[in-house]
Amino acid sequence: MDLQLVQFLIKQAGVDKRTGDLYGNRDLLNIARNMARGIKGVENVYTQHQPLLFQTMESITKGRLRDVEYPFIGNHFQRIKPQDVVIFVVGGTTYEEARAVALHNASNSGTRFILGGSVVLNSKR
């Protein structure tokens, strides 16, 4: 891989540029309320979980993705809905995230997501 490309990516989206919080700094009451709301009427609680990637894809399709947390290159003032979005997870992606992308692509015709990662993570890694 070209070293200049890696350095450019680190400069644009490196650790000093990321501000997102995986758990959202929510208090215990909100977490418990969301868990209780999500489990009602579900036979298999394992299939009802949505990874954080799903929420990110929803934000992209609704035009609510925060530029501060997800910097991009190009015209910042152009607010058209993207047709193709490539998501690459350095460190690996999971089968659950791949399933979320596939379900999202099947249900939404406006934006197509392509998922990639440095490795596919499973219970053996």
- Chunked in runs of 10, what are the mean pLDDT values of the chain (125 residues)? 77 69 59 62 66 88 78 64 86 91 87 92 76
CA–CA dist 11, 59 (Å, integer): 24
Same domain, 108 and 59: yes
Cβ-Cβ contacts under 8 Å for 89 (sequence gap 6 or more): 53, 97, 115, 116, 117, 118
- Give the count of domains, the chain: 2
Confidence (pLDDT) at 33: 65
Same domain, 115 and 60: yes
Same domain, 91 and 104: yes
Confidence (pLDDT) at 101: 95
Same domain, 56 and 31: no
Task: Indicate yes or no: pTM above 0.75.
Answer: no
Same domain, 36 and 72: no
Residues of the domain holding 4:
1-48
Phi, psi of 53 (to 5 degrees): -60, -35
Copy the structure tokens of residue 55: 């929420």
Confidence (pLDDT) at 75: 63
**Helix extents (H) in the chain:** 3-13, 28-39, 52-62, 95-107
CA–CA dist 50, 72 (Å, integer): 25
